[in-house]
Structure 1
Amino acid sequence: MQGWQERRTSFGSVAADYAALRPGYPADAVGFLLGDRPLRVLDLGAGTGLLTDVLLAAGHEVVAVDLSEPMLEQLRTRLPQVEAVGGGAESIPLPGADVDAVVAGQAAHWFDPAPAAAELRRVLRPGGVVGFVWNTRDERVPWVRALGELLAGEARDHEADQGVVDRFAAALPATVEVFDSGTVQHVTPEQVVRGIGTRSYVATMDDADRDRFLGAVRELVATHPDTRGRDELELPYTTRAHRLTPR
């Protein structure tokens, strides 16, 4: 099994495709996490800024933190108005009581809960909240289920993990509320393949294994009855947002 640290830091090599091909987040999920009053928000594990986009559209002031400098460069290019700083959840490069909220999109499973929870409490202002959100492919759709079955051996269910939320809720400690939403990407078949290429378990493969694996994804999309011969596909996701309110 590939090491957690190797996968955690693998995204720099695929930063441009990550920015272009990963799904965004629905506005109602951000509204649930943060309400409708403008806040100063830390986007932790911000990557290329897909969640930052939605935070800005909702009127929030955002500071973005990520371990990967190539990912942050994508964010800075797209969103030059955002303060973007290198750093991780276990040592957040902000002063104490600096933000009203900390949010993480598709990232909290890469955080070490005990030291990260201490840092979250340090940087949050009194009454602040923590928000974790994940998009997960909606496998109620047959071709998406077939894709998930193909990926399952490598993916190892590493993304949306209720256990991650539970560990943070215990470490903070915090109460947890949950909100479900969804989003749909309109993508070409080749964009589906390239999007899978941005996953950590693919980014850390050697070239031969990656070509073989993505070739199998390409073959599935080309031959599945629901996708064969189509120039554009709808790739649906379910979105689950977790609001943690420290006690």
Structure 2
Amino acid sequence: MATRDEMSRSFGAAAGVYESGRPDYPTEAVQWLLEPMREPGRALRVADVGAGTGKLTRVIAGLGDDVVAIDPDSEMLAALHAAVPGVPTFVGTAERMPLPDASLDAVVLGQAWHWVDAIRGSLEVGRVLRSGGMLGLIWNVRDERLPWVRRMSEIMHGSSAEQMLADGHPPVAPPFSTLDEQVWGWTRPMSRGALQDMARSRSYVITAAPEEKERIETELDLLFDEIGVVGGSTIELPYVTKAYRGQRP
């Protein structure tokens, strides 16, 4: 089995299926992350860390804010550049950002904080934020109250993010303390191909042995046959978006 570090840096090899299979972030959830920093007539300075293919970056840019994208994988940043032209990109991590001290209003991470060393990451985020700046963390998580969704998760193997969130709030360290939390429920129409891409975009599957990948695809195909996702049909995949924000003193 791949190490945690190998899994965290595996996504560039699957940038295409990540873009296809992973959902976008609800605009209202991203607005909530940034709302405490809003001032009339001023764009926020935001870094999207672990930006991947830019799913969170494009929402922030769409809100009219100035955003830079940071990711450890240059292949993911290349996909981001194609999807969100004009956004500055940097290779880096939450623990080491190539940005000046006190230069940002907010640092946000989508589907990424579970890969971060919370102590080192919190300290580095605190360095690049101005006084009063905001750390925002957000995840799209499948709603497993439906039996078929729960079965799909069992086939694909649970993720470290899902385990972390099941255990409670994501961990942070000084200069951050408590985190505010908000939750949104919604659904996304998914074809059979998009569902398979979503599975292929997960770090466990990307780094799995060939026989394990074959098992996952075969069992998912059987499940999709059972629930009637065939041909050009789609099914509504329920999601819960969990967002957390904490302010730098």
TM-score of the superposed pair, with normalisation by structure 2: 0.91
Could you tell me which residue of structure 2 aligns to residue 33 of structure 1? Answer: 33
Note the C-alpha offset of 1:72: 0.5
Provide closer, same or farther for how the CA distance between residues 53 and 164 of structure 1 changes in structure 2, counting only shifts above 3 A.
Answer: farther
Among all aligned residue pairs of Structure 1 and Structure 2, give the percentage whose two residues are the same amino acid: 38
SS in 2 for 1:140: coil
CA contact (8 A) 1:100 1:124 kept: yes
Structure 1 residues 151-184: Cα deviation after superposition (integer angstroms, max 9, x where no partner): 3xx325434624684521x333333111111332
Structure 2 unaligned blocks of 5 or more? none
Q: Give the counterpart of 1:241 among 229, 240, 243.
A: 243
- Find the aligned partners of 2:141 and 2:104 in 1 and give their Cα distance: 28
Q: Give the counterpart of 1:188 among 188, 191, 214.
A: 191
1:115 correspondence with 2:120: yes
Structure 1 residues 190-219: Cα deviation after superposition (integer angstroms, max 9, x where no partner): 210121010000000122321221221121
Moved more, 110-119 or 209-218: 209-218
CA contact (8 A) 2:48 2:68 kept: yes
Q: Give the counterpart of 2:86 among 81, 90, 94.
A: 81
Moved more, 200-209 or 102-111: 200-209
Paired residues, what number?
243
- Find the aligned partners of 2:51 and 2:170 in 1 and give their Cα distance: 21
Structure 1 counterpart of 2:221, which letter?
A: R
- Find the aligned partners of 1:165 and 1:171 in 2 and give their Cα distance: 15
CA contact (8 A) 1:189 1:222 kept: no
Could you tell me which residue of structure 2 aligns to residue 231 of structure 1? Answer: 233
1:145 correspondence with 2:147: no
CA contact (8 A) 2:131 2:248 kept: no
Note the C-alpha offset of 1:185: 2.0
Map 1:95-244 → 2, pairs under 5 A: 95-151=100-156, 154-159=157-162, 161-162=164-165, 165-168=169-172, 170-224=173-227, 227=229, 231-244=233-246
Note the C-alpha offset of 1:56: 1.2
Provide closer, same or farther for how the CA distance between residues 157 and 149 of structure 1 changes in structure 2, counting only shifts above 3 A.
Answer: same
Provide closer, same or farther for how the CA distance between residues 156 and 241 of structure 1 changes in structure 2, counting only shifts above 3 A.
Answer: closer
Structure 2 counterpart of 1:238, which letter?
A: V
- Find the aligned partners of 2:161 and 2:13 in 1 and give their Cα distance: 19
Could you tell me which residue of structure 1 aligns to residue 12 of structure 2? Answer: 12
- Find the aligned partners of 2:111 and 2:120 in 1 and give their Cα distance: 19
Moved more, 171-180 or 75-84: 171-180
